[in-house]
Amino acid sequence: FVSKMLVGYSSSSEEENDAVTEATDNVKSPTDDCGRTVSCRLPLPGCLLTMFPEEQDPQTEDRSLHDGRVRSFKHERGNWATYVYFAVHILHNFLFVKITIHLSVSQTVVLRHHWIQPFTQSLRTSLAHCKSFSCSAERLKVYCNAERTRTFLGMEVRSGQAQLLDLVKIVDKRMTEFLLETFYKDPSFHVSLAWCVGDMTTLMNKCINDLQRVVDDGEEGPFLLRLDCSEVRCKTGNKIFRFPLKP
């Protein structure tokens, strides 16, 4: 049942809007007070019309194209959804599908296009002295986003939290410089393994123990997710900036 409800997780933290509407007006020929039809301008030749096509918005608002996801904020030209994270690469029988997951150290914020270069440069400078570390996760936990539009099955980080908190402080300072929202006050660091549309927290918590047993009763023993935190990444729109940490 749970396998049918959950959708394979994607690292894209940017959520999509519900729908896009198109309005079509019925235009009638204007007339003067005497009922005579006013002459209209001749239409432009087709070859001229195709010279200047209307610019298409690259951010498609059709929910069906994004697995039912809903945006946390409305898309506006020049606004880039941005977050800071560690990429997690896993090769294990427990994760039998190919997925991309991440460990977030910031919230998803809206960054103006002209802020991208100074923001990422400030982040790079601040992280230059930070050392790489490792952490691990083994316990499943259910999460729901603030808008209650998506529920996540995550694996909570147990070791390495002190280093993660130190890193969050650095990222938060950069966020504050640009008047952006900082990370959660009492964060639960985790990697999301799967998600489903809507607030399914209650339902998922009813079967979380059964799911944990699946994790613990593997042929190779309890599953332990080891995370190599050696490179911080910042994704803003479709751009990814990489900041290697000191060995």
What pLDDT, in 10s, does the model give residues 11-35?
Answer: 444 444 333 333 334 444 444 444 4
User: Distance between CA atoms of 189 and 161, rounded to whole angstroms?
Assistant: 8
The single residue of 92, 102, 113, 129 carrying the catalytic annotation is 102
At 223 the pLDDT is 86
Alpha-helical (H) ranges within 73-158 are 116-127
| The amino acid at 218 | G
DSSP code of 65?
Answer: G
Active site residue 113: no
Active site residue 66: no
CATH class of the domain whose range is 2-13+63-244: alpha beta
Alpha-helical (H) ranges within 21-66 are 46-49
Alpha-helical (H) ranges within 54-137 are 116-127
The single residue of 66, 75, 92, 190 carrying the catalytic annotation is 190
Q: What is the pLDDT along the chain (247 residues), one digit of tens a residue?
A: 444 444 455 444 444 433 333 333 444 444 444 445 545 566 655 554 454 444 444 444 555 544 555 555 566 778 999 999 999 876 555 555 556 689 999 999 999 999 999 999 999 999 999 999 999 999 999 999 989 999 999 999 999 999 999 999 999 999 999 999 999 999 999 999 899 999 999 999 999 999 999 999 988 888 888 899 999 999 999 999 999 999 9
Q: Cα–Cα distances in Å, from 121 out to 7, 31, 78, 199, 241?
A: 35, 61, 19, 37, 10
